[in-house]
């Protein structure tokens, strides 16, 4: 049986049940996120009534003024910022080493970098928790940062390495031939070249850290990052309207940078940034 060739489709005919299944899966993926936005405006304070009995804007300023939420947000941003800087440095160094040199165990290095993201979060979490217990280290800001930086390195590494592989090595050689030293070459040739890859990798690392909850549970002790605060609110709901607004806030804070990062990566035709 032959279907009519058309400019739109790639030639295959889609039966109705296939279309239905595809649309169904898309709705399944997106309706829950849409509901997050709806519930941020509900007047219902004690439950999750659907449809919402009324809509209001009053929870947004109240959520933003909530001291618990502010403290959690501040801690989350600080952790994400420091973890991102660490990931940028370590990821770029690793990418440069893997790109520039051939050495024994190169594959192993790449594998090791991706491991914290590939294994279930609980493995990384309990592993770091074991080390903390074994060495009797007290929980602190830095125990959270160390865990986060470890799984953020790989996104920077992937982005920067992909950029290195596409940019030509002859520019670096030309710069050296023209008398620039390594530092000048880095400052004027390499850095402008990988700048956007660093930006994209940095943004991805930041949002990865911003909403991490599983590893953080094991490294935070009694401190609350924003995702942990939301988690605790779900376990024992105390302030539903505030939590609803915070959930929306987190979606916005993480989604917008990722869209930007994908734009940046796409402009450098660099799909590596999109794989988690």
Partner 1 sequence: MFQRISTYLYLRPRLSLALLLLPPLVWFLVVYIGSLLSMLVNSFFYLDGFTGQVVRQFTLDTYAKLFIPTNVQILSRTLFMALAVTLGCIVLAFPLSYYMARIASPRMKTFLYLAVTLPLWSSYVVRVYSWKLILAQEGIISWFARLLHLDGVLNWYLSSPLLGGPSLGISLTGVFLVFVYIWLPYMILPIQTALERVPKSLIEASSDLGASPAQTFRNVILPLAFPGVVAGSIFTFSLTLGDFIVPSLFGNSSFFIGKAVLTYQGTSGNIPLAAAFTMGPIVIMIVYLLIARRLGAFDAL
Name residues contacting partner 1, limited to 234-263 (CB under 8 A): 234-235, 243, 247, 250-251, 254-255, 258-259, 262
36 binds partner 1 (CB under 8 A): yes
164 binds partner 1 (CB under 8 A): no
> Quick one: which segment of 54-62, 75-83, 132-140, 162-170 binds partner 1 (CB under 8 A)?
132-140
30 binds partner 1 (CB under 8 A): yes
State which of residues 43, 56, 70, 130 lies at the interface with partner 1 (CB under 8 A). 130
CB of 5 to partner 1, least distance (A): 12
Binding to partner 1 in span 178-197, by CB under 8 A: 181-184
Binding to partner 1 in span 209-228, by CB under 8 A: 210-214, 217-218, 227
25 binds partner 1 (CB under 8 A): yes
Residue-wise DSSP of the chain: --PPP-SSS-SPPPPHHHHHHHHHHHHHHHHHHHHHHHHTTB--SSS--SS-S-B-STHHHHHHH-HHHHHHHHHHHHHHHHHHHHHHHHHHHHHHHHHH---TTHHHHHHHHHHHHHS-HHHHHHHHHHHHHHTTPPP-HHHHHHHHHHHHHHHHHHHHHHHHHHS-HHHHHHHHHTT--HHHHIIIIIHHHHHHHHHHHHHHHHHHHHT--HHHHHH-TT---HHHHHHHHHHS-S-HHHHHHHHHHHHHHHHHHHHHHHHHHHHTT-GGGG--
CB of 98 to partner 1, least distance (A): 8
8 Å CB contact between 86 and 149: yes
CB of 186 to partner 1, least distance (A): 10
Q: CB-based contacts of 199: which residues, under 8 Å, 6+ apart?
A: 261, 264
Nearer to partner 1, 109 or 174 (CB): 109
State which of residues 8, 168, 170, 269 lies at the interface with partner 1 (CB under 8 A). 8
116 binds partner 1 (CB under 8 A): yes
> Quick one: which segment of 65-73, 77-85, 143-151, 164-172 binds partner 1 (CB under 8 A)?
143-151
Contact string (CB under 8 A) for partner 1, positions 89-108, x = contact:
xxx-xx-xx--xx-x-----
65 binds partner 1 (CB under 8 A): no
160 binds partner 1 (CB under 8 A): no
């Amino acid at each position: 049986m032959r279907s009519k060739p058309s400019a739109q489709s790639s030639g295959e005919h889609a039966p109705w049940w296939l279309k239905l299944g595809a649309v169904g899966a898309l709705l399944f993926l997106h309706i829950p996120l849409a509901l997050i936005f709806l519930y941020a405006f509900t007047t219902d304070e004690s439950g999750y009534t659907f449809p919402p009995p009324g809509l209001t804007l009053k929870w947004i300023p109240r959520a933003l003024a909530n001291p618990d939420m502010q403290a959690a947000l501040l801690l989350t941003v600080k952790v994400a910022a420091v973890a991102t800087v660490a990931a940028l440095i370590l990821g770029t160094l690793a990418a440069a080493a893997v790109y520039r040199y051939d050495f024994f165990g190169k594959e192993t290095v790449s594998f090791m970098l991706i491991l914290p993201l590939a294994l279930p979060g609980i493995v990384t979490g309990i592993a770091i928790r074991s080390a903390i217990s074994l060495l009797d280290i007290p929980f602190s800001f830095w125990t959270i940062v160390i865990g986060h930086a470890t799984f953020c390195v790989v996104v920077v590494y992937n982005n920067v390495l992909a950029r290195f592989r596409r940019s030509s090595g002859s520019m670096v050689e030309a710069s050296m031939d023209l008398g620039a030293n390594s530092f000048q070459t880095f400052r004027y040739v390499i850095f402008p070249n990988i700048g956007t890859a660093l930006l994209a990798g940095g943004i991805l690392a930041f949002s990865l850290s911003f909403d991490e909850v599983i590893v953080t549970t094991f490294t935070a002790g009694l401190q609350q990052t924003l995702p942990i605060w939301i988690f605790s609110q779900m376990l024992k709901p105390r302030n539903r309207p505030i939590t609803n607004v915070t959930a929306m806030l987190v979606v916005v804070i993480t989604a917008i940078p990722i869209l930007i990062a994908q734009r940046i990566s796409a402009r450098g035709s660099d799909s590596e940034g999109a794989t988690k």
